Amino acid sequence: MQPELLQHNLKTLRKAHGYTQADMGRKLNIQRQSYANYENGNRIPSIEMLSKIAAIFKVTVDYLLQDITGSAGDTSSDSTAYAITDLITDYLSLPESSQKEIRQFIAFKKSMSD
């Protein structure tokens, strides 16, 4: 596991959902500083805590641990990585009804390419 990916993903998802570190602490029933330590790399959350965090953000634990920028460590694709991160952030900031419409559209587009 690359802790820096987890740190980045936690911060990105938290901000995309409009939560503060204090909000996350309350949701997880831990101190704000404990959650901050996950984001700044001073501590790695337990599997149980990762599961709780993933549930709050409505993602999988795998998603929390992967490179969601799409760059896979390739710094030559910074503009692409930024665009993918923005796309995820924008999607997560939409209301659930809009997210559902986007998922339906993606399913439709995928069915057309078969």
**What pTM was computed for the model?**
0.62
Task: Give tens-digit pLDDT for 86-114.
Answer: 677 778 888 899 889 988 888 888 888 76
Tell me: do 84 and 32 sit in the same domain. no
Per-residue pLDDT for 84 more than 70?
Answer: no
Tell me: do 89 and 108 sit in the same domain. yes
Tell me: do 74 and 99 sit in the same domain. yes
The three-state DSSP-derived secondary structure of the chain is CCHHHHHHHHHHHHHHCCCCHHHHHHHHCCCHHHHHHHHHCCCCCCHHHHHHHHHHHCCCHHHHHCCCCCCCCCHHHHHHHHHHHHHHHHHHHCCHHHHHHHHHHHHHHHHHCC
Total count of domains within the chain: 2
User: What are the phi and psi torsion angles at 73 (to 5°)?
Assistant: 85, 0
Tell me: do 28 and 54 sit in the same domain. yes
The pLDDT score that the predictor gives to residue 73 is 45
Tell me: do 18 and 60 sit in the same domain. yes
Tell me: do 1 and 57 sit in the same domain. yes
